[in-house]
Amino acid sequence: MGGVTSSLVLPSANIISGEGYVFKMAVPESRSVEQMLIQYDPEHPFQSPNAGKRHRWMKMACGENPKKRFMNRPEAPKSRMGLGYLFREYMDRATRLKEEQDEWCKAVEQMNIPDTQFPHEVDIEILVGLLRGQVSSNAHCYETFDIETLLRHSKEYNFEVDALHHALDAYLIPDILKSLSWNITIATFATLWGFKKEAYQASLFSPEILNAHDLNVVLTTDHPALPGHTLVYQAQIAHNYGLPEDVAFASITGKPAGALNLDDRIGYLRVGYDADVVIWDKHPLQAGATPLKMLIDGEKVLDLAIEDGTFEQSAPKSRYTSKSIGADEEHLNEKSYLIKGISSSFLTTLEKSAESLFELLVEDGEVSCFSPSCPTTNREVIVIELEQGTIIPGITAVSEAHGLVDIPSEPSTGDGDIREYAGGSFRDSSSVMFAHNGLHLGSEHLVRALNSGVTRIITPPFRSEGQNFITGVSLAFKSSSSDLSSVLKDVVALHITLGDAGKEPSLPTISSQIAALKSLLIENKDLDNVYGRVARGELALAAHVNSKDIMIQLLRLQNELTFNLVIIGGLEAHLVSQTLVSQNVPVIVKGWRCQRKYWDERRCLTGVGGEETIISNLISAGVKVGLAYTEDLDIRMALDQIASATKASSISAKKAIEMASTNVMEIFGIEDSGKLSFVVLEGSPVEYGSRVAAIIEDGSLIRKSPQPEPAYDLYH
Mean pLDDT, range 544-556, rounded to an integer? 97
- CA 613 to CA 619: how far, in whole Å? 10
Q: Domain holding 672: CATH number? A: 3.20.20.140
pLDDT in tens, 117-157: 999 999 999 999 999 999 999 999 999 999 999 999 999 99
Query: Is 648 in the same domain as 507?
Result: yes
pLDDT in tens, 596-609: 888 999 999 999 88
pLDDT in tens, 568-583: 999 999 999 999 999 9
Query: Is 626 in the same domain as 500?
Result: yes
Mean pLDDT, range 647-657, rounded to an integer? 96
Query: Is 696 in the same domain as 576?
Result: no
Residue 659 is assigned to a structural domain of this protein: yes
pLDDT > 60? residue 276: yes
Mean pLDDT, range 430-439, rounded to an integer? 93
Task: Compare 205 and 378 and report the one with higher pLDDT.
Answer: 205
Query: Is 444 in the same domain as 347?
Result: no
pLDDT of residue 284: 96
The percentage of residues in the chain with a pLDDT greater than 90, rounded to a whole number, is 78
Query: Is 374 in the same domain as 465?
Result: no
pLDDT > 70? residue 473: yes
pLDDT in tens, 298-319: 999 999 999 877 677 899 988 8
Residue 313 is assigned to a structural domain of this protein: no
Residue 290 is assigned to a structural domain of this protein: yes
Query: Is 371 in the same domain as 409?
Result: no
pLDDT of residue 456: 97
The angle formed by the CA atoms of residues 364, 365 and 368, to the nearest 5 degrees, is: 75
For the whole model, what pTM was predicted? Answer: 0.94
Query: Is 389 in the same domain as 399?
Result: no
Query: Is 295 in the same domain as 246?
Result: yes
Q: What is the mean pLDDT of the chain?
A: 92
Task: Compare 666 and 78 and report the one with higher pLDDT.
Answer: 666
Range of the domain at 660: 395-676
Residue 324 is assigned to a structural domain of this protein: no
Mean pLDDT, range 190-197, rounded to an integer? 94
Mean pLDDT, range 649-664, rounded to an integer? 96
pLDDT of residue 416: 84
Lowest-confidence range among 19-33, 405-419, 505-519?
405-419
Query: Is 235 in the same domain as 339?
Result: no
Query: Is 423 in the same domain as 524?
Result: yes
pLDDT of residue 710: 75
Query: Is 428 in the same domain as 387?
Result: no
Number of domains in the chain: 3
Residue at a domain's end among 269, 303, 337? 303
Rg (CA), the chain: 28
- CA 275 to CA 255: how far, in whole Å? 17
- CA 110 to CA 381: how far, in whole Å? 91
Strands (E), 536-639: 540-545, 565-569, 587-590, 625-628
Strand-by-strand arrangement of the 216-219 sheet = 6-9, 16-24, 56-61, 135-141, 163-166, 185-188, 216-219
pLDDT of residue 235: 97
Asked if residues 7 and 259 have their Cβ atoms less than 8 Å apart, the reply is no
Q: What is the SS3 assignment for 487-515?
A: EEECCCEEEEECCHHHCCCCCCCHHHHHH
Strands (E), 504-638: 540-545, 565-569, 587-590, 625-628
pLDDT > 50? residue 207: yes
Asked if residues 205 and 168 have their Cβ atoms less than 8 Å apart, the reply is no
Residue 539 is assigned to a structural domain of this protein: yes
Mean pLDDT, range 284-296, rounded to an integer? 96
Distance in angstroms between the alpha carbons of the first and the last residue of the chain: 46
Strand-by-strand arrangement of the 330-334 sheet = 330-334, 700-704, 691-697, 678-682, 382-392, 337-345, 358-363, 366-371
- CA 486 to CA 489: how far, in whole Å? 9
Q: Domain holding 688: CATH number? A: 2.30.40.10
Asked if residues 495 and 432 have their Cβ atoms less than 8 Å apart, the reply is no
Residue 598 is assigned to a structural domain of this protein: yes
Residue 714 is assigned to a structural domain of this protein: no
pLDDT of residue 69: 79
Residue 312 is assigned to a structural domain of this protein: no
pLDDT of residue 716: 46
Residue at a domain's end among 288, 303, 318? 303
Query: Is 299 in the same domain as 440?
Result: no
